[in-house]
Amino acid sequence: MGGDVSPDAAVLGRLLRGRRSIRDFEPRAVPPALLRELLDEARHAPSWSNTQPYRLGIATGPLRDRLARELPRRYDEARRLQRAGALTRLRAVLTRRGLPDFDFDPRTQYPPELLAARRRCGFGLYARLGIAREDRAARERQMRRNYEFFGAPCAVFVFVHAALGPYAALDAGFFLQSLALAAHARGLGSCVQGALALFAGPLKREFAVPEGWKLLCGVALGWPSADPVNGYDPGRADVDALLLPASA
């Protein structure tokens, strides 16, 4: 194709193609110096006017454990409310208790042209986990694992400045890909988790989040376990499928 590939390009290509989302981790901690090294590399990501409009809440040790108890509790509570009668739900809305308290709602309504890919990805993951499509309880248990960071010893919560609108999220995306690749290059695994945007309250109690900064997502980070779920590769659309045809 493009002739000789430079060693740098070969390494980068391997890392780009080989990174996968990791959804089961070993409990062993990520050494603080290693975590620092990853962040130090990822901060070189580009951002609009070099503003780096993201701030990170890092949860390890007892803080991580506290959140890995509180967030699943919030998830269970929200699920219970979802199934409760209209009156209980109304009371929850009025008292603002038990419901998700996101800054950005991660429960996106997918448009028809994206829905098929979403379903393929979800069902592929469940198949990998040996979960039958109709087994709602097992699917829910897997969803719940998001809130325990899939067992990762480190969770990174990403806040962006709301004033920059979508560009702050774009900048955070560059940062996250850099972080994911820096981690992958060292044998660590990560999973960006939109699910972790659902409950902002517990995070705002644990971290001093300045006015105007909103919870965008979380990232589980740690050493991948040998669980087969970590081999799940949902594949990608071909380049051609990403290209717009010329207008007629």
Ligand X SMILES: Cc1cc2nc3c(=O)[nH]c(=O)nc-3n(C[C@H](O)[C@H](O)[C@H](O)COP(=O)(O)O)c2cc1C
Binding residues for ligand X, per CB under 6 A? 20-21, 23, 121, 146, 191-195, 217, 234
Closest CB to ligand X among residues 139, 204: 139
Closest CB to ligand X among residues 89, 124: 124
Give the contacts of 39 (CB within 8 A, at least 6 positions apart).
Answer: 56, 179
Q: How far is the CB of 121 from ligand X (least distance, A)?
A: 5
Closest CB to ligand X among residues 42, 191: 191
Q: How far is the CB of 132 from ligand X (least distance, A)?
A: 18
CB 101 within 8 A of CB 92: no
Q: How far is the CB of 59 from ligand X (least distance, A)?
A: 16
Q: How far is the CB of 33 from ligand X (least distance, A)?
A: 26
Identity of residue 125: L
CA distances (Å), 14 to each of 7, 9, 18, 81, 236, in order?
11, 8, 6, 45, 15
Buried b (16+ CB within 10 A) or exposed e, 65-94: eebbebbeebbebbeebeeeeeeeeeebee
Q: How far is the CB of 34 from ligand X (least distance, A)?
A: 21
Closest CB to ligand X among residues 67, 191: 191
Closest CB to ligand X among residues 36, 107: 107
Question: Which region, left, alpha or beta, applies to residue 151 given φ > 0 means left and ψ of -120 to 50 means alpha?
Answer: left
